[in-house]
Structure 1
Amino acid sequence: MKILRVFNNNVVLARDELGREVVLTGRGVGFQKRPGSPVSQETIARRFVPADNPASVAQIIADIPPERLRLVETLFARAVADLGSRLPPLTLVALADHIHQAVERVRRGEIMDYPLRAEVAHLHPQELAVAERMLGELNEHLDVPLPAGEAVALTMHLFHAVTGSPTMAATYEQSGLIRQVFALLADSYGPAFDPASIDAARFAAHLRYFFARARSGAQLDGDEGPVGAAVRAGSPAAYTLAQRIRALLELRLGHPVSEEEVVYLSLHVARLETGMRRGRTT
Protein backbone atom coordinates (compact mmCIF):
# COMPACT_ATOMS: atom_id res chain seq x y z
CA MET A 1 0.00 0.00 0.00
CA LYS A 2 1.07 3.54 -0.75
CA ILE A 3 0.27 6.59 1.35
CA LEU A 4 -1.81 9.28 -0.35
CA ARG A 5 -2.01 11.78 2.51
CA VAL A 6 -0.73 12.02 6.06
CA PHE A 7 -3.17 13.55 8.57
CA ASN A 8 -1.02 13.05 11.65
CA ASN A 9 1.35 10.46 13.09
CA ASN A 10 -1.54 8.05 13.68
CA VAL A 11 -3.88 8.53 10.68
CA VAL A 12 -3.17 8.30 6.94
CA LEU A 13 -5.10 7.95 3.72
CA ALA A 14 -3.67 5.21 1.50
CA ARG A 15 -4.42 3.20 -1.63
CA ASP A 16 -4.71 -0.51 -0.96
CA GLU A 17 -3.92 -3.54 -3.09
CA LEU A 18 -7.38 -3.37 -4.73
CA GLY A 19 -6.98 0.27 -5.72
CA ARG A 20 -9.36 1.54 -3.03
CA GLU A 21 -8.77 4.61 -0.92
CA VAL A 22 -8.59 3.42 2.69
CA VAL A 23 -8.11 5.13 6.02
CA LEU A 24 -5.43 3.55 8.20
CA THR A 25 -4.91 4.23 11.88
CA GLY A 26 -2.27 3.02 14.26
CA ARG A 27 0.49 4.35 16.46
CA GLY A 28 3.17 5.82 14.18
CA VAL A 29 1.51 4.78 10.90
CA GLY A 30 2.12 8.30 9.55
CA PHE A 31 5.33 9.10 11.41
CA GLN A 32 7.90 10.66 9.05
CA LYS A 33 5.81 9.55 6.08
CA ARG A 34 4.82 11.52 2.99
CA PRO A 35 2.63 10.87 -0.07
CA GLY A 36 4.05 7.94 -2.03
CA SER A 37 5.70 6.29 0.98
CA PRO A 38 4.94 2.61 1.53
CA VAL A 39 2.82 1.71 4.52
CA SER A 40 4.52 -0.21 7.31
CA GLN A 41 2.10 -3.08 7.85
CA GLU A 42 3.11 -3.58 11.48
CA THR A 43 1.89 -0.06 12.36
CA ILE A 44 -1.69 -0.62 11.14
CA ALA A 45 -4.21 -1.01 13.96
CA ARG A 46 -7.44 -0.37 12.04
CA ARG A 47 -8.46 -0.16 8.40
CA PHE A 48 -11.58 1.71 7.25
CA VAL A 49 -12.94 1.51 3.71
CA PRO A 50 -15.42 4.39 3.27
CA ALA A 51 -17.73 4.28 0.28
CA ASP A 52 -17.66 8.08 0.02
CA ASN A 53 -15.37 10.93 1.04
CA PRO A 54 -12.52 8.89 2.52
CA ALA A 55 -10.46 12.04 3.14
CA SER A 56 -13.29 13.49 5.25
CA VAL A 57 -13.51 10.26 7.26
CA ALA A 58 -9.75 10.39 7.81
CA GLN A 59 -9.97 13.98 9.02
CA ILE A 60 -12.76 13.08 11.47
CA ILE A 61 -10.65 10.25 12.90
CA ALA A 62 -7.55 12.46 13.06
CA ASP A 63 -9.45 14.98 15.21
CA ILE A 64 -10.30 12.34 17.85
CA PRO A 65 -7.66 11.67 20.52
CA PRO A 66 -6.33 8.10 19.97
CA GLU A 67 -7.08 7.02 23.54
CA ARG A 68 -10.68 8.20 23.18
CA LEU A 69 -11.06 6.25 19.92
CA ARG A 70 -9.69 3.11 21.60
CA LEU A 71 -12.05 3.54 24.55
CA VAL A 72 -15.10 3.98 22.30
CA GLU A 73 -14.07 0.99 20.17
CA THR A 74 -13.74 -1.29 23.21
CA LEU A 75 -17.06 -0.28 24.79
CA PHE A 76 -19.02 -0.06 21.53
CA ALA A 77 -17.85 -3.49 20.31
CA ARG A 78 -18.90 -5.01 23.64
CA ALA A 79 -22.29 -3.27 23.52
CA VAL A 80 -23.00 -4.39 19.95
CA ALA A 81 -21.96 -7.95 20.86
CA ASP A 82 -24.40 -7.88 23.78
CA LEU A 83 -27.12 -7.14 21.22
CA GLY A 84 -26.09 -10.17 19.16
CA SER A 85 -24.27 -8.38 16.35
CA ARG A 86 -20.78 -7.40 15.21
CA LEU A 87 -19.37 -3.90 15.01
CA PRO A 88 -19.37 -2.43 11.47
CA PRO A 89 -16.13 -0.38 11.29
CA LEU A 90 -17.64 2.84 9.97
CA THR A 91 -20.30 2.97 12.68
CA LEU A 92 -17.39 3.17 15.12
CA VAL A 93 -16.23 6.34 13.38
CA ALA A 94 -19.70 7.91 13.58
CA LEU A 95 -20.06 7.14 17.29
CA ALA A 96 -16.51 8.14 18.20
CA ASP A 97 -17.05 11.46 16.43
CA HIS A 98 -20.36 11.95 18.24
CA ILE A 99 -18.80 11.25 21.64
CA HIS A 100 -15.81 13.48 20.88
CA GLN A 101 -18.11 16.34 19.89
CA ALA A 102 -20.32 15.72 22.95
CA VAL A 103 -17.32 15.91 25.28
CA GLU A 104 -16.21 19.17 23.68
CA ARG A 105 -19.74 20.61 24.00
CA VAL A 106 -19.88 19.75 27.70
CA ARG A 107 -16.45 21.25 28.16
CA ARG A 108 -17.81 24.50 26.66
CA GLY A 109 -20.84 24.35 28.94
CA GLU A 110 -23.27 23.42 26.14
CA ILE A 111 -25.82 20.68 26.90
CA MET A 112 -27.73 18.94 24.12
CA ASP A 113 -31.43 18.29 24.72
CA TYR A 114 -32.77 14.87 23.67
CA PRO A 115 -36.58 15.07 23.99
CA LEU A 116 -37.18 11.60 22.49
CA ARG A 117 -36.18 9.48 25.49
CA ALA A 118 -39.70 8.19 26.22
CA GLU A 119 -40.20 7.26 22.58
CA VAL A 120 -36.78 5.57 22.37
CA ALA A 121 -37.56 3.64 25.56
CA HIS A 122 -40.68 2.24 23.91
CA LEU A 123 -39.17 1.50 20.50
CA HIS A 124 -35.66 0.37 21.46
CA PRO A 125 -35.67 -0.80 25.10
CA GLN A 126 -32.86 -3.32 24.64
CA GLU A 127 -30.58 -0.83 22.95
CA LEU A 128 -31.41 1.85 25.54
CA ALA A 129 -30.52 -0.45 28.45
CA VAL A 130 -27.18 -1.30 26.83
CA ALA A 131 -26.59 2.37 25.95
CA GLU A 132 -27.17 3.49 29.55
CA ARG A 133 -24.65 0.94 30.80
CA MET A 134 -22.21 1.99 28.10
CA LEU A 135 -22.60 5.66 29.06
CA GLY A 136 -21.78 4.82 32.67
CA GLU A 137 -18.65 2.97 31.58
CA LEU A 138 -17.64 5.86 29.33
CA ASN A 139 -18.04 8.36 32.13
CA GLU A 140 -15.74 6.31 34.35
CA HIS A 141 -12.92 7.08 31.89
CA LEU A 142 -13.77 10.59 30.62
CA ASP A 143 -12.43 13.65 32.39
CA VAL A 144 -15.66 15.44 31.43
CA PRO A 145 -18.66 13.16 32.20
CA LEU A 146 -21.47 13.16 29.66
CA PRO A 147 -25.06 13.89 30.78
CA ALA A 148 -27.65 11.12 31.06
CA GLY A 149 -29.46 12.34 27.94
CA GLU A 150 -26.56 11.16 25.78
CA ALA A 151 -27.87 7.60 26.29
CA VAL A 152 -30.58 8.44 23.74
CA ALA A 153 -28.00 9.26 21.07
CA LEU A 154 -25.96 6.15 21.97
CA THR A 155 -29.15 4.09 21.60
CA MET A 156 -29.62 5.27 18.03
CA HIS A 157 -25.99 4.55 17.18
CA LEU A 158 -26.43 1.02 18.57
CA PHE A 159 -29.60 0.59 16.52
CA HIS A 160 -27.65 1.84 13.49
CA ALA A 161 -24.91 -0.73 14.10
CA VAL A 162 -27.25 -3.67 14.68
CA THR A 163 -29.53 -3.01 11.68
CA GLY A 164 -26.69 -2.21 9.30
CA SER A 165 -28.30 1.00 8.07
CA PRO A 166 -26.05 2.79 5.58
CA THR A 167 -26.41 6.15 7.34
CA MET A 168 -27.70 7.59 10.59
CA ALA A 169 -30.47 9.23 8.55
CA ALA A 170 -31.60 5.76 7.45
CA THR A 171 -31.43 4.64 11.08
CA TYR A 172 -33.84 7.37 12.14
CA GLU A 173 -36.09 6.45 9.20
CA GLN A 174 -36.20 2.83 10.38
CA SER A 175 -36.93 3.94 13.93
CA GLY A 176 -39.74 6.08 12.53
CA LEU A 177 -41.07 3.04 10.67
CA ILE A 178 -41.20 1.06 13.92
CA ARG A 179 -43.12 3.98 15.39
CA GLN A 180 -45.61 3.78 12.50
CA VAL A 181 -46.04 0.03 13.04
CA PHE A 182 -46.67 0.66 16.74
CA ALA A 183 -49.24 3.32 15.79
CA LEU A 184 -50.97 0.72 13.63
CA LEU A 185 -51.01 -1.72 16.55
CA ALA A 186 -52.38 0.97 18.88
CA ASP A 187 -55.07 1.83 16.35
CA SER A 188 -56.06 -1.83 16.10
CA TYR A 189 -56.01 -2.73 19.79
CA GLY A 190 -56.62 0.60 21.51
CA PRO A 191 -55.54 1.03 25.14
CA ALA A 192 -54.93 -2.72 25.46
CA PHE A 193 -51.70 -2.31 23.48
CA ASP A 194 -48.87 -1.29 25.78
CA PRO A 195 -45.80 -0.12 23.83
CA ALA A 196 -43.72 -0.49 27.00
CA SER A 197 -44.58 -4.18 27.47
CA ILE A 198 -42.04 -6.97 27.08
CA ASP A 199 -44.01 -8.38 24.14
CA ALA A 200 -43.88 -4.99 22.39
CA ALA A 201 -40.12 -4.92 23.01
CA ARG A 202 -39.79 -8.37 21.43
CA PHE A 203 -41.86 -7.17 18.48
CA ALA A 204 -39.59 -4.14 18.02
CA ALA A 205 -36.55 -6.44 18.17
CA HIS A 206 -38.12 -8.66 15.48
CA LEU A 207 -38.60 -5.63 13.24
CA ARG A 208 -35.01 -4.57 13.88
CA TYR A 209 -33.69 -7.93 12.68
CA PHE A 210 -36.12 -7.91 9.76
CA PHE A 211 -34.61 -4.59 8.62
CA ALA A 212 -31.15 -6.15 8.77
CA ARG A 213 -32.29 -9.17 6.72
CA ALA A 214 -34.13 -7.00 4.21
CA ARG A 215 -31.14 -4.70 3.73
CA SER A 216 -28.80 -7.64 3.09
CA GLY A 217 -31.27 -9.38 0.74
CA ALA A 218 -31.62 -12.29 3.14
CA GLN A 219 -35.32 -12.27 4.00
CA LEU A 220 -36.89 -15.52 5.16
CA ASP A 221 -38.18 -16.75 1.84
CA GLY A 222 -39.96 -20.09 2.02
CA ASP A 223 -43.56 -21.00 1.27
CA GLU A 224 -46.22 -20.49 3.89
CA GLY A 225 -45.84 -24.10 5.02
CA PRO A 226 -47.57 -25.80 7.96
CA VAL A 227 -46.59 -23.04 10.43
CA GLY A 228 -48.20 -20.40 8.23
CA ALA A 229 -51.31 -22.48 7.74
CA ALA A 230 -51.58 -23.00 11.49
CA VAL A 231 -51.20 -19.27 12.15
CA ARG A 232 -53.87 -18.40 9.58
CA ALA A 233 -56.27 -20.93 11.11
CA GLY A 234 -55.49 -20.31 14.77
CA SER A 235 -54.90 -16.55 14.77
CA PRO A 236 -56.77 -15.09 11.77
CA ALA A 237 -56.93 -11.59 13.28
CA ALA A 238 -53.17 -11.61 13.89
CA TYR A 239 -52.54 -12.77 10.33
CA THR A 240 -54.81 -10.06 8.91
CA LEU A 241 -53.02 -7.38 10.95
CA ALA A 242 -49.65 -8.79 9.85
CA GLN A 243 -50.79 -8.30 6.24
CA ARG A 244 -51.52 -4.64 7.03
CA ILE A 245 -48.05 -4.30 8.56
CA ARG A 246 -46.62 -5.95 5.47
CA ALA A 247 -48.31 -3.37 3.24
CA LEU A 248 -46.88 -0.54 5.36
CA LEU A 249 -43.36 -2.02 5.28
CA GLU A 250 -43.50 -2.56 1.53
CA LEU A 251 -44.68 1.00 0.98
CA ARG A 252 -41.97 2.54 3.15
CA LEU A 253 -39.09 0.23 2.22
CA GLY A 254 -39.89 0.08 -1.48
CA HIS A 255 -39.53 -3.68 -1.89
CA PRO A 256 -41.70 -6.76 -1.23
CA VAL A 257 -41.92 -8.56 2.10
CA SER A 258 -41.86 -12.34 1.72
CA GLU A 259 -44.71 -14.60 2.80
CA GLU A 260 -42.53 -16.36 5.37
CA GLU A 261 -41.67 -12.98 6.94
CA VAL A 262 -45.43 -12.31 7.19
CA VAL A 263 -45.86 -15.62 9.01
CA TYR A 264 -43.29 -14.57 11.62
CA LEU A 265 -44.89 -11.13 11.88
CA SER A 266 -48.18 -12.96 12.55
CA LEU A 267 -46.60 -15.03 15.31
CA HIS A 268 -45.36 -11.88 17.04
CA VAL A 269 -48.75 -10.18 16.66
CA ALA A 270 -50.39 -13.30 18.12
CA ARG A 271 -47.94 -13.13 21.05
CA LEU A 272 -48.97 -9.50 21.59
CA GLU A 273 -52.63 -10.57 21.62
CA THR A 274 -51.89 -13.30 24.17
CA GLY A 275 -50.10 -10.79 26.38
CA MET A 276 -52.99 -8.35 26.15
CA ARG A 277 -55.49 -11.07 27.08
CA ARG A 278 -53.31 -12.06 30.02
CA GLY A 279 -53.18 -8.43 31.11
CA ARG A 280 -56.98 -8.17 31.08
CA THR A 281 -57.34 -11.19 33.37
CA THR A 282 -54.80 -10.07 36.00
Structure 2
Amino acid sequence: MDVTLGKSATIKRVYNNNVLLATEADSTEVVLLGKGIGFQRRPGETVDTSLADQRFVDEGLYLAPQLADLLSEASSDHIAVAQTITELGHAALGLEPRQSLMIPVLDHLTFAVRRAQEGTHIDFPLRWEVAQLYPAEAALGRQVVALVNDSLGVQLQDDEWVAFALHFVNQQWTKGDFSKTVAMTETISRVFLRLAERWGWPIDENASSAARFVTHLRYVFARAASDKQLQTSRLDVLSAVQLAYPEAAEAALDIAALIGDAINRVITKDEISYLALHTTRLYVEMTEHQ
Protein backbone atom coordinates (compact mmCIF):
# COMPACT_ATOMS: atom_id res chain seq x y z
CA MET A 1 0.00 0.00 0.00
CA ASP A 2 2.87 2.25 -0.91
CA VAL A 3 3.84 4.74 -3.59
CA THR A 4 7.00 4.29 -5.64
CA LEU A 5 8.19 7.82 -6.31
CA GLY A 6 9.10 8.78 -9.84
CA LYS A 7 8.31 5.36 -11.33
CA SER A 8 6.39 5.33 -14.59
CA ALA A 9 3.78 2.77 -15.58
CA THR A 10 1.68 2.10 -18.67
CA ILE A 11 -2.06 2.43 -18.21
CA LYS A 12 -3.99 -0.75 -18.98
CA ARG A 13 -7.46 0.37 -17.90
CA VAL A 14 -9.08 3.47 -16.48
CA TYR A 15 -11.75 2.45 -13.95
CA ASN A 16 -12.80 5.93 -12.93
CA ASN A 17 -11.25 9.28 -12.13
CA ASN A 18 -9.57 7.85 -9.05
CA VAL A 19 -8.51 4.29 -9.98
CA LEU A 20 -6.14 3.04 -12.67
CA LEU A 21 -4.79 -0.38 -13.58
CA ALA A 22 -1.29 -0.10 -15.00
CA THR A 23 1.84 -2.12 -15.78
CA GLU A 24 5.30 -1.10 -14.63
CA ALA A 25 8.49 -1.65 -16.62
CA ASP A 26 9.15 -5.00 -14.91
CA SER A 27 5.64 -6.20 -15.96
CA THR A 28 4.22 -5.82 -12.46
CA GLU A 29 0.52 -5.01 -12.57
CA VAL A 30 -0.34 -2.20 -10.18
CA VAL A 31 -3.49 -0.44 -9.11
CA LEU A 32 -3.05 3.29 -8.55
CA LEU A 33 -5.48 5.09 -6.27
CA GLY A 34 -5.57 8.86 -6.11
CA LYS A 35 -7.98 11.72 -6.57
CA GLY A 36 -8.19 12.61 -10.26
CA ILE A 37 -5.43 10.23 -11.33
CA GLY A 38 -7.67 8.72 -14.01
CA PHE A 39 -9.22 11.96 -15.24
CA GLN A 40 -9.03 12.17 -19.06
CA ARG A 41 -6.46 9.36 -19.16
CA ARG A 42 -6.46 6.52 -21.70
CA PRO A 43 -4.99 3.00 -21.97
CA GLY A 44 -1.49 3.02 -23.41
CA GLU A 45 -0.50 6.33 -21.83
CA THR A 46 2.20 6.47 -19.18
CA VAL A 47 1.54 7.65 -15.66
CA ASP A 48 3.90 8.66 -12.89
CA THR A 49 3.13 6.43 -9.89
CA SER A 50 4.12 9.24 -7.54
CA LEU A 51 0.86 10.95 -8.52
CA ALA A 52 -1.05 8.19 -6.74
CA ASP A 53 -1.93 8.35 -3.07
CA GLN A 54 -1.56 4.58 -2.86
CA ARG A 55 -0.18 1.78 -4.99
CA PHE A 56 -1.57 -1.75 -4.73
CA VAL A 57 -0.16 -4.98 -6.13
CA ASP A 58 -1.21 -8.62 -6.27
CA GLU A 59 -0.31 -10.15 -2.89
CA GLY A 60 -1.91 -13.52 -3.53
CA LEU A 61 -5.36 -12.89 -2.09
CA TYR A 62 -6.61 -10.52 -4.79
CA LEU A 63 -5.30 -10.20 -8.33
CA ALA A 64 -4.60 -6.66 -9.51
CA PRO A 65 -7.78 -6.44 -11.66
CA GLN A 66 -9.82 -7.66 -8.66
CA LEU A 67 -8.20 -5.00 -6.50
CA ALA A 68 -9.07 -2.38 -9.09
CA ASP A 69 -12.68 -3.61 -9.23
CA LEU A 70 -13.01 -3.45 -5.46
CA LEU A 71 -11.42 -0.01 -5.13
CA SER A 72 -13.41 1.46 -8.02
CA GLU A 73 -16.71 0.16 -6.66
CA ALA A 74 -16.07 1.35 -3.10
CA SER A 75 -16.93 4.91 -2.19
CA SER A 76 -14.20 7.28 -1.08
CA ASP A 77 -15.84 7.28 2.37
CA HIS A 78 -15.61 3.49 2.57
CA ILE A 79 -11.95 3.56 1.55
CA ALA A 80 -11.19 6.23 4.14
CA VAL A 81 -12.93 4.25 6.89
CA ALA A 82 -11.09 1.06 5.88
CA GLN A 83 -7.81 2.95 6.12
CA THR A 84 -8.78 4.25 9.56
CA ILE A 85 -9.61 0.70 10.67
CA THR A 86 -6.20 -0.43 9.44
CA GLU A 87 -4.56 2.34 11.46
CA LEU A 88 -6.55 1.27 14.53
CA GLY A 89 -5.20 -2.24 14.09
CA HIS A 90 -1.70 -0.82 14.07
CA ALA A 91 -2.26 1.34 17.15
CA ALA A 92 -4.11 -1.27 19.23
CA LEU A 93 -2.50 -4.54 18.14
CA GLY A 94 0.76 -3.54 16.50
CA LEU A 95 -0.37 -4.75 13.07
CA GLU A 96 1.50 -3.36 10.11
CA PRO A 97 -0.83 -1.02 8.15
CA ARG A 98 -0.53 -3.03 4.97
CA GLN A 99 -2.65 -3.82 1.95
CA SER A 100 -3.10 -7.37 3.24
CA LEU A 101 -5.25 -5.96 6.05
CA MET A 102 -6.81 -2.89 4.45
CA ILE A 103 -8.19 -4.64 1.35
CA PRO A 104 -10.00 -7.51 3.13
CA VAL A 105 -11.37 -5.00 5.65
CA LEU A 106 -12.64 -2.79 2.81
CA ASP A 107 -14.17 -5.81 1.09
CA HIS A 108 -15.99 -6.84 4.26
CA LEU A 109 -16.97 -3.27 5.10
CA THR A 110 -18.61 -2.79 1.70
CA PHE A 111 -20.81 -5.85 2.11
CA ALA A 112 -21.55 -5.13 5.78
CA VAL A 113 -22.82 -1.66 4.91
CA ARG A 114 -24.89 -3.07 2.06
CA ARG A 115 -26.45 -5.64 4.39
CA ALA A 116 -27.27 -2.89 6.89
CA GLN A 117 -28.90 -0.76 4.21
CA GLU A 118 -30.93 -3.71 2.92
CA GLY A 119 -31.88 -4.94 6.39
CA THR A 120 -30.22 -8.30 5.78
CA HIS A 121 -28.97 -10.24 8.81
CA ILE A 122 -26.53 -13.15 8.79
CA ASP A 123 -25.36 -15.56 11.46
CA PHE A 124 -21.91 -15.30 13.04
CA PRO A 125 -21.49 -18.77 14.59
CA LEU A 126 -18.05 -18.03 16.10
CA ARG A 127 -19.21 -15.13 18.26
CA TRP A 128 -18.62 -16.88 21.58
CA GLU A 129 -15.32 -18.41 20.51
CA VAL A 130 -13.91 -15.13 19.22
CA ALA A 131 -14.96 -13.26 22.37
CA GLN A 132 -13.31 -15.86 24.59
CA LEU A 133 -10.20 -16.63 22.57
CA TYR A 134 -9.32 -13.21 21.17
CA PRO A 135 -10.45 -10.58 23.70
CA ALA A 136 -8.21 -7.79 22.37
CA GLU A 137 -9.31 -8.32 18.78
CA ALA A 138 -12.93 -8.65 19.90
CA ALA A 139 -12.76 -5.32 21.72
CA LEU A 140 -11.28 -3.66 18.65
CA GLY A 141 -13.94 -5.27 16.46
CA ARG A 142 -16.66 -3.67 18.59
CA GLN A 143 -14.85 -0.34 18.36
CA VAL A 144 -14.78 -0.70 14.58
CA VAL A 145 -18.54 -1.29 14.39
CA ALA A 146 -19.13 1.90 16.38
CA LEU A 147 -16.69 3.77 14.14
CA VAL A 148 -18.44 2.60 10.97
CA ASN A 149 -21.86 3.50 12.32
CA ASP A 150 -20.73 6.99 13.27
CA SER A 151 -18.65 7.65 10.16
CA LEU A 152 -21.00 6.28 7.52
CA GLY A 153 -24.36 6.94 9.16
CA VAL A 154 -25.44 3.30 9.12
CA GLN A 155 -26.40 0.78 11.78
CA LEU A 156 -24.37 -2.36 11.24
CA GLN A 157 -25.57 -5.64 12.65
CA ASP A 158 -24.10 -5.84 16.16
CA ASP A 159 -22.38 -9.14 15.45
CA GLU A 160 -20.32 -7.66 12.60
CA TRP A 161 -17.60 -7.13 15.22
CA VAL A 162 -16.91 -10.88 14.98
CA ALA A 163 -15.82 -10.66 11.34
CA PHE A 164 -13.71 -7.55 11.90
CA ALA A 165 -12.02 -9.23 14.88
CA LEU A 166 -11.23 -12.28 12.78
CA HIS A 167 -9.63 -10.05 10.14
CA PHE A 168 -7.30 -8.73 12.84
CA VAL A 169 -6.50 -12.28 13.97
CA ASN A 170 -5.98 -13.33 10.38
CA GLN A 171 -3.44 -10.57 9.79
CA GLN A 172 -1.39 -11.68 12.79
CA TRP A 173 -1.29 -15.39 12.20
CA THR A 174 -2.14 -16.53 8.69
CA LYS A 175 -1.38 -13.49 6.54
CA GLY A 176 -4.26 -13.67 4.10
CA ASP A 177 -5.95 -17.08 4.18
CA PHE A 178 -9.13 -16.33 6.11
CA SER A 179 -10.21 -19.98 6.01
CA LYS A 180 -7.19 -20.90 8.14
CA THR A 181 -8.18 -18.30 10.73
CA VAL A 182 -11.68 -19.77 10.94
CA ALA A 183 -10.22 -23.28 11.17
CA MET A 184 -7.85 -22.15 13.92
CA THR A 185 -10.67 -20.57 15.91
CA GLU A 186 -12.89 -23.63 15.62
CA THR A 187 -10.00 -25.92 16.52
CA ILE A 188 -8.99 -23.96 19.62
CA SER A 189 -12.60 -24.01 20.76
CA ARG A 190 -12.64 -27.80 20.32
CA VAL A 191 -9.40 -28.01 22.31
CA PHE A 192 -11.05 -26.46 25.37
CA LEU A 193 -14.08 -28.72 25.04
CA ARG A 194 -11.79 -31.75 24.78
CA LEU A 195 -9.80 -30.71 27.84
CA ALA A 196 -13.03 -30.29 29.82
CA GLU A 197 -14.09 -33.79 28.78
CA ARG A 198 -10.71 -35.29 29.67
CA TRP A 199 -10.26 -33.59 33.01
CA GLY A 200 -13.86 -33.57 34.13
CA TRP A 201 -14.31 -29.84 34.68
CA PRO A 202 -14.77 -26.76 32.46
CA ILE A 203 -11.69 -24.66 31.77
CA ASP A 204 -11.81 -21.10 33.02
CA GLU A 205 -10.86 -19.33 29.81
CA ASN A 206 -10.45 -16.05 31.68
CA ALA A 207 -7.60 -17.46 33.77
CA SER A 208 -4.11 -16.19 32.97
CA SER A 209 -2.83 -19.69 32.23
CA ALA A 210 -5.70 -20.22 29.76
CA ALA A 211 -4.89 -16.94 28.01
CA ARG A 212 -1.22 -17.95 27.70
CA PHE A 213 -2.33 -21.34 26.43
CA VAL A 214 -4.48 -19.76 23.71
CA THR A 215 -1.55 -17.61 22.62
CA HIS A 216 0.66 -20.68 22.40
CA LEU A 217 -1.97 -22.59 20.42
CA ARG A 218 -2.11 -19.73 17.94
CA TYR A 219 1.65 -19.91 17.49
CA VAL A 220 1.55 -23.68 17.04
CA PHE A 221 -1.24 -23.41 14.51
CA ALA A 222 0.52 -20.66 12.55
CA ARG A 223 3.87 -22.47 12.51
CA ALA A 224 2.33 -25.76 11.47
CA ALA A 225 0.15 -24.18 8.78
CA SER A 226 3.23 -22.49 7.27
CA ASP A 227 5.44 -25.61 7.64
CA LYS A 228 7.75 -23.93 10.17
CA GLN A 229 7.30 -26.23 13.14
CA LEU A 230 9.83 -26.55 15.95
CA GLN A 231 11.98 -29.62 15.46
CA THR A 232 15.48 -28.94 16.77
CA SER A 233 15.30 -29.63 20.51
CA ARG A 234 17.35 -32.48 21.98
CA LEU A 235 15.39 -32.52 25.22
CA ASP A 236 12.71 -35.17 25.65
CA VAL A 237 10.28 -32.89 27.47
CA LEU A 238 7.26 -35.00 26.60
CA SER A 239 8.61 -38.08 28.39
CA ALA A 240 9.26 -36.06 31.53
CA VAL A 241 5.73 -34.68 31.48
CA GLN A 242 4.32 -38.17 30.88
CA LEU A 243 5.99 -39.34 34.08
CA ALA A 244 4.99 -36.40 36.26
CA TYR A 245 1.61 -35.42 34.76
CA PRO A 246 0.29 -38.14 32.46
CA GLU A 247 -3.09 -36.38 32.17
CA ALA A 248 -1.39 -33.29 30.77
CA ALA A 249 0.83 -35.29 28.40
CA GLU A 250 -2.11 -37.23 26.98
CA ALA A 251 -3.98 -33.98 26.53
CA ALA A 252 -1.05 -32.53 24.57
CA LEU A 253 -1.03 -35.53 22.24
CA ASP A 254 -4.77 -35.19 21.76
CA ILE A 255 -4.49 -31.47 21.00
CA ALA A 256 -1.70 -32.10 18.49
CA ALA A 257 -3.97 -34.55 16.69
CA LEU A 258 -6.79 -32.00 16.58
CA ILE A 259 -4.52 -29.32 15.13
CA GLY A 260 -2.95 -31.75 12.68
CA ASP A 261 -6.34 -32.90 11.42
CA ALA A 262 -7.51 -29.30 11.00
CA ILE A 263 -4.63 -28.35 8.68
CA ASN A 264 -3.59 -31.76 7.34
CA ARG A 265 -0.19 -31.73 9.01
CA VAL A 266 1.68 -34.02 11.38
CA ILE A 267 2.66 -32.06 14.50
CA THR A 268 6.30 -32.58 15.45
CA LYS A 269 7.44 -34.03 18.77
CA ASP A 270 9.05 -30.71 19.73
CA GLU A 271 5.76 -28.88 19.24
CA ILE A 272 3.97 -31.54 21.28
CA SER A 273 6.57 -31.17 24.03
CA TYR A 274 5.92 -27.45 24.29
CA LEU A 275 2.21 -28.12 24.20
CA ALA A 276 2.71 -30.50 27.11
CA LEU A 277 4.41 -27.80 29.15
CA HIS A 278 1.40 -25.57 28.65
CA THR A 279 -1.16 -28.29 29.33
CA THR A 280 0.75 -29.11 32.52
CA ARG A 281 0.61 -25.51 33.70
CA LEU A 282 -3.09 -25.35 32.84
CA TYR A 283 -3.80 -28.71 34.49
CA VAL A 284 -1.98 -27.83 37.71
CA GLU A 285 -3.63 -24.43 38.01
CA MET A 286 -7.09 -25.77 37.27
CA THR A 287 -6.63 -28.68 39.67
CA GLU A 288 -5.73 -26.31 42.47
CA HIS A 289 -9.00 -24.45 42.00
CA GLN A 290 -11.24 -27.48 41.96
Q: TM-score, normalised by structure 2?
A: 0.83
Give the SS at the match of 1:225: coil
- More deviation in 179-188 or 197-206? 197-206
Q: What letter corresponds to residue 184 of structure 2 in structure 1?
A: Q
Gaps in structure 1 of 5+ consecutive residues = none
Residues in 2 aligned to 1:105 and 1:216: alpha-carbon distance in whole angstroms? 34
Aligned equivalent of 2:20 = 12
Aligned equivalent of 2:45 = 37
Residues in 2 aligned to 1:103 and 1:138: alpha-carbon distance in whole angstroms? 9
- More deviation in 200-209 or 151-160? 200-209
User: Structure 2 vs 1, CA of residues 115 and 84 (structure 1 numbering), >3 Å: closer, same or farther?
Assistant: same
Residues in 2 aligned to 1:115 and 1:238: alpha-carbon distance in whole angstroms? 30
2:151 is equivalent to residue 154 of structure 1: no
- More deviation in 152-161 or 140-149? 140-149
User: Structure 2 vs 1, CA of residues 82 and 214 (structure 1 numbering), >3 Å: closer, same or farther?
Assistant: farther
2:136 is equivalent to residue 126 of structure 1: yes
- More deviation in 52-61 or 225-234? 225-234
Give the SS at the match of 1:5: strand
Equivalent pair of 1:80/1:158 in contact (CA under 8 Å):
no
Residues in 2 aligned to 1:84 and 1:233: alpha-carbon distance in whole angstroms? 40
Listed one character per residue, the Cα deviations across residues 206-234 of structure 1 (whole Å, up to 9, x for unaligned) are 22232333344433332143766764554
- More deviation in 46-55 or 99-108? 46-55
Q: What letter corresponds to residue 203 of structure 1 in structure 2?
A: F
User: Structure 2 vs 1, CA of residues 47 and 56 (structure 1 numbering), >3 Å: closer, same or farther?
Assistant: closer
2:33 is equivalent to residue 25 of structure 1: yes
Q: 1:252 aligns with which of 262, 265, 271?
A: 262
Give the SS at the match of 1:171: helix
Aligned equivalent of 2:3 = none
Q: Deviation of residue 59 (structure 1)? A: 0.7
Equivalent pair of 1:11/1:25 in contact (CA under 8 Å):
yes
Aligned equivalent of 1:193 = 203
Equivalent pair of 1:80/1:86 in contact (CA under 8 Å):
yes
| Superposed CA RMSD | 2.7
Residues in 1 aligned to 2:289 and 2:147: alpha-carbon distance in whole angstroms? 36
Residues in 2 aligned to 1:270 and 1:29: alpha-carbon distance in whole angstroms? 59
Q: Deviation of residue 202 (structure 1)? A: 2.9
Q: Deviation of residue 163 (structure 1)? A: 1.6
Q: What letter corresponds to residue 238 of structure 1 in structure 2?
A: A
User: Structure 2 vs 1, CA of residues 176 and 192 (structure 1 numbering), >3 Å: closer, same or farther?
Assistant: closer
Q: What letter corresponds to residue 33 of structure 2 in structure 1?
A: T
- More deviation in 78-87 or 151-160? 78-87
Q: What letter corresponds to residue 134 of structure 2 in structure 1?
A: H
Residues in 1 aligned to 2:227 and 2:98: alpha-carbon distance in whole angstroms? 17
Q: Deviation of residue 151 (structure 1)? A: 0.8
| 1:214-253 matched pairs, under 5 angstroms | 214-225=224-235, 231=241, 234-253=244-263
Size of the aligned set, in residue pairs, is 280
Aligned equivalent of 2:148 = 138
User: Structure 2 vs 1, CA of residues 29 and 249 (structure 1 numbering), >3 Å: closer, same or farther?
Assistant: same
- More deviation in 93-102 or 211-220? 211-220
Q: TM-score, normalised by structure 1?
A: 0.85
User: Structure 2 vs 1, CA of residues 213 and 70 (structure 1 numbering), >3 Å: closer, same or farther?
Assistant: farther
